[in-house]
Amino acid sequence: MPRRKSTSAAKQRSELEEIRKSLGSIALEQYKSSGLGQSLQLLFSSNPRSYLASAGDLDSLTRRRSIELRRYESATQKLRQTTLLVSDKAKLVRATQQKLEAQARAANAKLAEAEKILKSLKASERKALLAAQRRAEANDLASSRAAAKSLKGASGRSGVAIRYALAQIGDRYVFGAAGLVNWDCSGLTMRAFQAAGVSLPHSSRAQYNYGKSIARKDLQPGDPVFFGKPISHVAIYVGGNRMLHAPRTGARVKIAEFDLGKKPYIGARRL
């Protein structure tokens, strides 16, 4: 819950209490001065001139009460709005946390399934599979570094973001990581664009709401590109139908073809 909103609500409650006290004192004053109706007070007054003078004070008191009542109503409404805003923010934070926890559970379930399959293989099969994975990863890294050297320099924020991400080629993918040696997809894009002065959340789905939408035919180096229904992956387009990203558990940050297999391409943004 934001501290500023909480402090604002507390201040408004204090102001509301002051107005409430003021209304109480006004009510007491009016009761003391008008136990009889004003007409009867004038009739029985020993000094009508003096009474009429004090009646002006009563009118002033009535006006003061009206003003204080309006202030009270306004302060009450303002406090109610602030309280609702704080409540809404808290609900949003809880909903986001629940979504992230669900994503983590899904990722861990897939990892457990993969580990189960791996354990079912014979020792010789596991050894051959791991060796093949290492060779493929080494080839990916070699081609990524070669591609990085051939990239044309992008300018502005896009150029800064690309250069930052290129420096992370070879770092491991770890779910939920945002540097400085391990990354997940949105952690990498978040830090890369942070270096360029753009603040993004650590969520591929949330990052899709930033910047402006870009058609695939209009893609330029530095545009974040998104995959999955619902969105579950983000990369940085680098031109030539290639993208720079942190792919998945067991892989490393690299440049790859602009395709993510079963995860469909959803769209791109320009920041």
Among 54-68, 144-158, 196-210, the range scoring the smallest mean pLDDT is: 54-68
Question: Is 135 in the same domain as 69?
Answer: no
Domain boundary among 77, 107, 137: 107
- 129 shares a domain with 40: no
Cβ 162 vs Cβ 236: under 8 Å = yes
Residue 112 placed within a domain: no
DSSP state of 152: P
pLDDT band at 64 (very low <50, low <70, confident <90, very high): low
The pLDDT of residue 1 is above 70? no
132 and 228 within one domain: yes
Q: Domain check: are 134 and 254 in the same one? A: yes
* Residue where one domain finishes, among candidates 73, 107, 141: 107
Is pLDDT above 80 for 234?
Answer: yes
How far apart, in whole angstroms, are the C-alpha atoms of residue 135 and residue 130? 9
Asked whether residue 195 falls in the same domain as residue 221, the answer is yes
Instruction: Identify the DSSP state of 216.
Output: G
Same domain, 125 and 102: no
Please tell me the distance from the alpha carbon of residue 113 to that of residue 131, in angstroms, as a whole number: 20
Pair 59, 131 in one domain: no
Res 244: pLDDT: 93
Within-domain flag for 56: yes
Residue 50 has pLDDT above 60, yes or no: no
Please give the Cα distance from 52 to 45 (Å, whole number): 10
Q: In the chain, how many domains are there?
A: 2
- For residues 101 and 129, membership in a common domain is answered with no
Same domain, 60 and 9: yes
Q: How confident is the model at residue 268 (pLDDT cuts 50, 70, 90)?
A: very high
What residue numbers bound the domain in which 98 lies?
A: 3-107
Q: What's the average model confidence in pLDDT over 103-115?
A: 75
More confident call, 100 vs 160: 160
CATH number of the domain residue 138 falls in: 3.90.1720.10
144 and 257 in a common domain: yes
Secondary element (H or E) of residue 183 = strand 182-183
Region class of 183: left (phi > 0), else alpha (psi between -120 and 50), else beta = beta
